[in-house]
Amino acid sequence: MDTGEIGFGRIHVSPELLVQALHMPADTKILQVFMKDNKIIIMVSAPGLPDCKFGAEPILLMPVIHHTVESYEWDWNIGVKKP
C-alpha cells in the first residue's frame, strides 16, 4: 500500500558503464561524479583534453555528440586541439 512517503536508495554504477552510456571515447576515464545545483557533474580525463595544473579548475566541457548510422562520434567541443 502506498503511504505517499518518498523512499530513498543508492545505485552503484561503474565508470565504464557511464562512458558507454554517454558514448564517450573508450579511453575516457571518469575521475569523479557529484551533484551540484541539481546537475550531475562528471570529472573526466581523456587524450585530447587540455592539461590542468594541480589545484586549478578544469575547463567546463560542453561536448557535442554526432550520431552516425553505426556509431557515435564524440567531440569535446573545446576549440583547441592538442597536437
The one-letter code for the residue type at 29 is K
Q: How far is CA 45 from CA 5, 10, 19, 32, 62, in A?
A: 40, 25, 11, 10, 14
Three cell numbers written together for 29:
576515464
- Summarised one tens digit per residue, pLDDT across range 5-62 is 888 888 899 999 999 999 899 999 999 999 999 999 999 999 989 999 989 999 999 9
- Residue among 1, 5, 3, 22 at smallest CA distance from 13: 22
What is the pTM for the complete model shown? 0.68
DSSP string, 27-79: T-EEEEEEEETTEEEEEEE-TTSPP--TTSPPPPP--EEEE-SS-EEEE---S
Domain layout of the chain by residue ranges: 15-75
